[in-house]
């Protein structure tokens, strides 16, 4: 895949990739996004984390750290994840700094927002966020079929509660319709949709 960058300032992902000699990471991210199923195999957040881990791995290798399996992943979680404890974050920072890693510089080069990945895919590779391999319709139907009995069960329970509230005088005596709809929201784009509308 040959990236076609739009005129203007160089994208941060491109600049950081060049700085850390990650020549193939952009193509790898674009290929993974394009080949994944919508809502399935990967998200923009996962691609952001993959890129950031590649940056951290390069920085650690440049400092001469002999990496063991899982070391980059743990270090990244402690440096980037806001839920990490203060002691874990500081221990990781001190260990990397002693080894010669410019931690502040590396963290500053991390991609913070998944939207940055989206913009890179769109502007450099010409890939829109919603243009990915179509999901298997038969598999999608099977997944949604698991939800329908739960909806019916919830409706039945809600109707029972309404009847009890009417008998207690908490609700007016009347006919009530109960409808259960599962709404999902993409936290990266803030778009919402009814789950049963997925096809």
Task: Show which of 90, 125, 160 is a domain's final residue.
Answer: 125
Domain extent, residue 82, equals 12-125
Whether residue 105 is found in the same domain as residue 152 = no
Whether residue 44 is found in the same domain as residue 119 = yes
Q: Phi then psi for 185, rounded to 5 degrees?
A: -125, 125
> What's the total number of domains in the chain?
2
Q: Which residues pair with 183 in a beta bridge?
A: 194
Residue 4 has pLDDT above 50, yes or no: no
Whether residue 63 is found in the same domain as residue 157 = no
Give a yes or no: residue 60 inside a domain: yes
Mean pLDDT across the chain: 80
Residues 73-109 have pLDDT tens digits of: 999 999 998 888 899 999 999 999 999 999 999 999 9
Confidence of residue 146 (pLDDT cuts 50, 70, 90): low
Give a yes or no: residue 46 inside a domain: yes
Residue 191 has pLDDT above 80, yes or no: no
Give a yes or no: residue 4 inside a domain: no
Q: Which three-class secondary structure state does DSSP give residue 187?
A: coil
Give a yes or no: residue 71 inside a domain: yes
DSSP-assigned states of every residue in 2-18: ---PPSSSPPHHHHHHH
Task: Show which of 104, 125, 146 is a domain's final residue.
Answer: 125
C-alpha 166/C-alpha 160 separation (Å) is 10
Could you give the maximum distance between any two Cα atoms of the chain, in Å?
76
Whether residue 55 is found in the same domain as residue 111 = yes
The pTM score is 0.62
Residue carrying the six token digits 């598999």: 139
The pLDDT of residue 111: 94
């Amino acid at each position: 895949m040959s990236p076609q960058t739009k005129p203007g300032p160089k994208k941060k992902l491109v600049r950081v990739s060049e700085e850390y000699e990650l020549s193939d990471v952009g193509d790898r991210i674009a290929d993974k996004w394009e080949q994944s199923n919508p809502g399935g195999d990967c998200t923009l957040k996962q691609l952001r984390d993959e890129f950031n881990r590649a940056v951290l791995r390069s920085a650690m290798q440049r400092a001469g750290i002999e990496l063991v399996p899982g070391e980059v992943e743990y270090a990244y979680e402690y440096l980037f994840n806001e839920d990490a404890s203060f002691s874990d974050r500081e221990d990781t920072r001190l260990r990397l700094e002693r080894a010669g890693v410019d931690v502040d510089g590396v963290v500053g080069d991390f991609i913070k927002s998944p939207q940055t990945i989206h913009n890179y895919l769109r502007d450099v590779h010409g890939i829109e966020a919603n243009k990915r391999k179509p999901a298997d319709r038969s598999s999608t139907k099977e997944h949604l079929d698991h939800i329908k009995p739960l909806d019916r069960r919830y409706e039945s329970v809600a109707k029972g509660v309404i009847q009890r509230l009417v008998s207690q005088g908490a609700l007016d005596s009347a006919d009530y319709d109960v409808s259960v709809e599962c709404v999902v929201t993409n936290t990266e784009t803030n778009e919402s949709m009814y789950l049963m509308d997925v096809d």
